[in-house]
């Protein structure tokens, strides 16, 4: 009997201790749950999405600011080609193709500036439709630039032939009614120290020289260090024997230098356009994801 009583009491004691331990563990778990931070995958994903959206927005705004400035550079270059009166472009101003190229550059530059402005608005206010339109216009501009570059590259011989014809006409009609073109050609011959297109013989078709009883040649072909008497920057002077070469090589070098600048600017703009397309797509996706995470989930 004694052993039985002890066994019953021991069992009751163990049961009481077990219940006490369970209650203690429950209270500890509740306190831990109350004061420990809760991990919510949806909330964490939303915070990461907001951070990614802000970073993309700032990058896209900075990109569009650069794109706006590049558009201004392209438009300024087109205006320089169209309005400069002291470069070889003035001689080519009678060419329809050259004028068209200048107007295309001005148009592309102005359109790029407009797209940069719209891109800034879309990035700041997070407008998906505006960003989509911005992406489409960037793609069209990029394709137009590639097409224009390919056309210029494959039409080099045609452009050189047209250039030679234009210069020959300027030399034959000098001095004529187009004083701006003639002043530009005098400026080229004087500063590049050249005479004619391929040489002095290119002036042999000029009507003033042909009909004159004196041996004349343009004063801009005159070597100043060898000149005697009064020196004139334009018109005709008595022939001395200028040993200057033709202007074709010098003009070609000038064009190559400036075309290199143009191609460099266009390449930089193309890379910026590609970056803008990528950023606009990423921002559209992030805006869509952010809007989706804000929708309440019902279980």
Q: How far is CA 100 from CA 69, 94, 148, in A?
A: 23, 11, 12
Mean pLDDT of 145-168: 76
The reported pTM is 0.51
45-67 pLDDT per residue, tens: 455 556 666 777 787 888 888 87
How does DSSP classify residue 200? G
Judging by beta carbons within 10 Å of its beta carbon (0-12, 13-18, 19+), is residue 295 exposed, middle or buried?
exposed
Taken in order 263, 269, 275, 281, the sign of the CA dihedral is negative
For residues 242 and 194, the answer to whether their CB atoms sit within 8 Å is no
Domain range summary for the chain, segments of one domain joined by +: 48-161+249-290, 173-248
> What is the residue whose two structure tokens read 């592309």?
108
Closest to 174 (Cα-Cα) out of 216, 118, 215, 132: 216
**Alpha carbon of residue 106 to chain centroid:** 13
Give the orientation angle of helix 156-173 with respect to helix 128-154, to 10 degrees.
70
- What pLDDT score does 102 carry? 78
Contact 219, 236 (CB under 8 A): yes
**Strands (DSSP E) along 79-229, which ranges?**
216-218
Query: Model confidence over 125-134: pLDDT tens digits?
Result: 878 888 888 8
Is the pLDDT at 33 greater than 60? The verdict is no
pLDDT tier, 223 (very low <50, low <70, confident <90, very high otherwise) = low
Whether omega before 175 lies within 30 degrees of 0, making that bond cis, reads yes
What are the helix and strand counts (H, E) for the chain?
A: 9, 2
Q: What percent of the chain has pLDDT over 70?
A: 65
């Amino acid at each position: 009997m004694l052993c039985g009583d002890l066994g019953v009491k021991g069992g009751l004691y163990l049961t009481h201790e077990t219940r006490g331990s369970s209650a203690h563990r429950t209270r500890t778990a509740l306190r831990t749950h109350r004061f420990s931070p809760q991990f919510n995958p949806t909330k964490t994903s939303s915070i990461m999405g907001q951070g990614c959206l802000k970073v993309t927005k700032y990058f896209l705004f900075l990109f569009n600011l650069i794109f706006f400035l590049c558009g201004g550079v392209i438009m300024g270059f087109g205006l320089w080609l169209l309005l400069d009166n002291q470069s070889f472009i003035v001689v080519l101003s009678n060419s329809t193709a050259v004028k068209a190229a200048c107007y295309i550059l001005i148009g592309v530059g102005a359109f790029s500036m407009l797209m940069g402005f719209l891109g800034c608005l879309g990035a700041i206010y997070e407008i998906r439709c505006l960003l989509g339109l911005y992406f489409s216009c960037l793609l069209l501009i990029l394709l137009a630039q590639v097409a224009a570059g390919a056309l210029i590259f494959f039409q080099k011989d045609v452009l050189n032939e047209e250039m030679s014809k234009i210069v020959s006409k300027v030399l034959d009609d000098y001095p004529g009614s187009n004083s701006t073109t003639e002043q530009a050609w005098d400026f080229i011959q004087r500063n590049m120290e050249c005479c004619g297109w391929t040489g002095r013989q290119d002036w042999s078709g000029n009507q003033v020289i042909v009909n004159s009883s004196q041996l004349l040649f343009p004063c801009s072909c005159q070597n100043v260090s060898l000149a005697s008497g009064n020196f004139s920057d334009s018109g005709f002077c008595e022939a001395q024997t200028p040993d200057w070469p033709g202007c074709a090589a010098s003009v070609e070098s000038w064009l190559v230098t400036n075309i290199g600048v143009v191609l460099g600017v266009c390449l930089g703009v193309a890379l910026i356009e590609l970056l803008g397309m990528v950023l606009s797509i990423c921002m559209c996706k992030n805006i869509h994801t952010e809007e989706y995470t804000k929708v309440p989930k019902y279980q």
